[in-house]
Structure 1
Amino acid sequence: MTPITAPKGVAVLGSTGSIGTTALRVLDRQRARFRVTALTANSNGALLREQARKFQPAFIGMVESQADADDAWKSGTDALIAAATRDDVDIVLNAIVGAAGLDATLAALKGGKRVALANKETLV
């Protein structure tokens, strides 16, 4: 008999961009294996709100605060690090353009998280 394992918690940094939205479509089809525990975006509050309703993550962060953001949302660049280092996160997908997600990636690695990079700048 195969042991039942809990779904892996995934933080998607840059969830409203092209790579982030594609990743969420894949994760949506793999809910038995993965659960979205954290979502972050730069500034697209409307799409982030829609994603949050669908996936019900424990953490939502938006780098550039907007008037439509809930008080429960975290804001600023520290939100990226907070999402990447949560105890309920096993895998961090960095789908942020450029070097903006570097600090969060380094924090995730220091915290023993598995990191999936979707940009080359972090490697360079």
Structure 2
Amino acid sequence: MTGSAAERQAAGTPLLEVLDVRKSYGDRLVLDDVSLSVQPHDVICLIGSSGSGKSTLLRCLDLLEEIDDGVIRLDGREISDPLVDQREVRGRIGMVFQAYNLFPHLTILENCTLAPRRAHGVGRREAH
């Protein structure tokens, strides 16, 4: 963690911040002023019926979908700006898709930490 990132976290700046995010597909409003704040080491769960926008929100956080309005910040830095380096952001945010493409011989934690360990060379302890 860089000095500035450590300072922001010590000051209580959220690791991930979503402010008034809106996303539509044509006339269909899927995300309507969604806001949330995630501190380091927080665990969150998105629960909702089919079509309620859970996957759309996750796709927006991983920059797979462009938001219509609002702000998304990662470690205090706005990532919802179209000029942001998407590859760098995606290297810090990951998703496990709802299709069951998991390795059955691994635990849930091992499945979730496999990509950072293999793709980015993150050590087991840091990945967990």
Coarse TM-score class (shorter-chain normalised)? under 0.3
Higher helix share: 1
TM-score by length of structure 2 reads: 0.25
Bigger-Rg structure (1/2)? 2
TM-score, with length taken from structure 1: 0.26
